[in-house]
Amino acid sequence: MKAIYKVCAICAISALTACSDQLDLAPQGEFTAEQLTDESIEGLMSSAYQGLEAHFFDDNNAAFAGPITNWVFDVRSDDAYKGGEGVSMEANIHQLEIQNITSDNATCLNKWENNYLGIARVHKAMLAIQDATVNDKASLLGELKTLRAWYYFDLNRIFKSIPYFTENDDPKTITNGNKNREEIYAAIKADLEDAYNAMPESQDQPGRFSKYVAAALLAKVNAQTASWSEVEKWADVVINSGKYQLYDNFADMSKLEFNNKKESIMAIQFSTANDNIHINFCNLLNTTRSEGNVFGSGDDFFLGSQNLVNAFRTDPATGLPYLDGTFNKVNVTENYAGTLDPRLDLTVGRIGLPFRGHLYTMGWCRDYNTYGEYSGKKGLIDPSSPDMVQGFPWGASGLNFSLIRYADILLLKAEALVEQATGNNAAEDDKLVEARTLVNQIRQKAARSVDGNYSPIDLDPAKADYFVGLYPTDWDGNLYWTKERARMAVRFERRLELAMEGQRWFDLVRWGVAVETINKYMQEESTLRPYYVGASLTEDEIYLPIPISQIENSNGLYKN
């Protein structure tokens, strides 16, 4: 898709709607069917894909506050703090962190607008292509349906009630709630199945969607609706394609040479070409302060929580996580002497440990007194790379962001197998055996990531005792691997593997444990972060309200 971005001069004319009427699909100043050429269609497709950057009208802050990467929802979970300088900076995101969200919250508005602007671009491209005489029309429409499916999937799991419309509908007549949540998921699945049947197995241009992107997204959407046999079916399509494999080392996800390779299934394409207009503006301000300006004078938003860091503790006898809930009984601090999963130090910075080959110190933390340490690592490449921007934008590079990676799909299949199991343990049910094999594959990747010769250096075995064990497979292990323990293990593995990738909050919601987990988290964490004192989450607050400005400008169509 970096290639497709180079031919997007048409996009501002042909696909971007006016600020004052973002969802208007009236064909103003567009190509007629006779005027459409391969180049103009390429421009339309490019513009539609560019919507994934969530960077419309050069509004950097709207991309940051309403990001497609969904880091702000990790802040709603037990995985991350807002960061930055004090709770008043980007107060809208602080509202998300303490679960006190008002309808004028900027994140609500930016997230809503960014996704619907993306849908508007998709619909304009669809309408043009449907009327054109063009090769591979069905495949092109399949790509666009997959894009639309992502936007609606994202909106439907975030907001209380959304309007759903296709390219043939007039959005000015559609009310929110015209379809309920279940009906919207059904429409998303129908789009994706059509797309799967229409798209090829591979594309010449990197980042363009293939049928396996649609299959992977189908696995995720079906997990959201607990349709477990369908999750298994579509995960198997991805797995059996033979096109994906786990990274050799967990840190590979932060290396440019692995863009669109190995685990990358659905990724937003970023680039430092063309004056950095296609960098990751969504996560731009999340760069660590980096004493000595290794990554520039970053704003240090989005830090790992102490609870997340503690989750990487392992049992020194087995190398397994503490599934019994005691992981948070001990804080992993500079005096911690127990064993750890190395993915911790490949996910966040810890004082005294290496950070991309440099020593992470308190000077890397913008507001240590409020938020502590644990700056995020995953979005930052080796600072010695010539591709990293020097100065502002801080730490920017051409590193893609994976919305779906292969490890996610393996773990979703494992989850589907566990939920469909009828036996009590692995001695009785082969589905539990297979689920354990998949979880152990993920853990094997973590174990082999402890390599002192791997560059840049992020692990220091002299300062941290790394130990990752596998869930046992002998007879006693089969009895140990009960359905309930398997469920806990899969869910815990998703947290460790996908930490700070915008996944955790949505997992907690679909598991039905968000309120319980977050209230316990905020109560325990308040001893370290006093701003959590008195904070709480209720079931009614899980989904975001429709932005008040959208209601006021909807002529009565939208209501909370």
Q: Give pLDDT tens digits for 145-186.
A: 999 999 999 999 999 999 999 999 999 999 999 999 999 999
Residue 548 contacts residue 525 (beta carbons within 8 Å):
no
Of the two residues 10 and 223, the one the predictor is more confident about is 223
At residue 25, the pLDDT reads 37
Taking the CA of residue 498 as centre, how many other CA atoms within 13 Å lie in the half-sphere pointing to its CB?
A: 30
Residue 2 contacts residue 207 (beta carbons within 8 Å):
yes
Closest of 244, 214, 206, 210 to residue 150, by C-alpha: 214
Lowest mean pLDDT among 38-52, 89-103, 172-186, 505-519: 38-52
At residue 27, the pLDDT reads 35
Reported as a single tens digit per residue, the pLDDT across 343-356 is 999 999 999 999 99
CA distance 8 to 43: 5
At residue 148, the pLDDT reads 98
At residue 6, the pLDDT reads 33
Helix (H) or strand (E) holding 433: helix 430-448
3-state SS of 491-554 is HHHHHHHHCCCCCHHHHHHHCCCHHHHHHHHHHHHCCCCHHHCCCCCCHHHCCECCCHHHHHCC
CA distance 78 to 441: 25
Mean of pLDDT values over 279-303: 95
Asked if residue 116 has pLDDT above 50, the reply is yes
Tokens 């930490």, located at residue: 499
CA angle 127, 15, 49 (to 5 degrees): 95
- What does DSSP assign to residue 308? H
Which region holds residue 356: left if phi is over 0, alpha if psi is between -120 and 50, else beta? left
Residue 45 contacts residue 136 (beta carbons within 8 Å):
no
For residue 370, the tally of other CB atoms under 10 A from its CB is 19
Query: What is the total residue count of the chain?
Result: 560
Mean of pLDDT values over 450-454: 86
CA distances to 221, 226, 231, 321, 459 from 409, rounded to whole Å, are: 12, 15, 9, 21, 27
At residue 255, the pLDDT reads 97
Question: If DSSP codes are grouped into helix, strand and coil, which group holds residue 324?
Answer: coil
Asked if residue 445 has pLDDT above 80, the reply is yes
Reported as a single tens digit per residue, the pLDDT across 315-338 is 999 999 999 999 999 999 999 999
Closest of 498, 541, 500, 501 to residue 518, by C-alpha: 541
Reported as a single tens digit per residue, the pLDDT across 197-243 is 999 999 999 999 999 999 999 999 999 999 999 999 999 999 999 99
Mean of pLDDT values over 381-406: 95
CA distance 415 to 234: 13
Asked if residue 382 has pLDDT above 90, the reply is yes
Taking the CA of residue 369 as centre, how many other CA atoms within 13 Å lie in the half-sphere pointing to its CB?
A: 3
Tell me the percentage of the chain whose pLDDT exceeds 90. Answer: 89
Question: If DSSP codes are grouped into helix, strand and coil, which group holds residue 328?
Answer: helix
Residue 217 contacts residue 146 (beta carbons within 8 Å):
yes
Amino acid at 18: A
* Partners of 268 in beta bridges: 401
Lowest mean pLDDT among 289-293, 347-351, 416-420, 529-533: 289-293
At residue 41, the pLDDT reads 86
Asked if residue 34 has pLDDT above 70, the reply is no
Asked if residue 26 has pLDDT above 90, the reply is no
Closest of 495, 493, 497 to residue 505, by C-alpha: 495
Confidence band, pLDDT 50/70/90 cuts, at residue 133: confident
Asked if residue 301 has pLDDT above 50, the reply is yes
Buried b (16+ CB within 10 A) or exposed e, 70-109: bbbbbbbbbbbbbbbeebebbebbbbbbbbebeeebbbbb
Residue 82 contacts residue 90 (beta carbons within 8 Å):
yes
Q: What is the longest distance spanned by two Cα atoms in the chain?
A: 71
At residue 201, the pLDDT reads 97
Taking the CA of residue 538 as centre, how many other CA atoms within 13 Å lie in the half-sphere pointing to its CB?
A: 5
Lowest mean pLDDT among 74-78, 83-87, 128-132, 287-291: 128-132
At residue 135, the pLDDT reads 83
Confidence band, pLDDT 50/70/90 cuts, at residue 358: very high
Sheet holding 313-314, edge to edge: 313-314, 339-340, 465-466
Asked if residue 474 has pLDDT above 50, the reply is yes
Q: Which are the contacts of 132, defined by CB distance < 8 A and separation ≥ 6?
A: 33, 36, 41
At residue 32, the pLDDT reads 53
Question: If DSSP codes are grouped into helix, strand and coil, which group holds residue 559?
Answer: coil
At residue 505, the pLDDT reads 98
At residue 132, the pLDDT reads 84
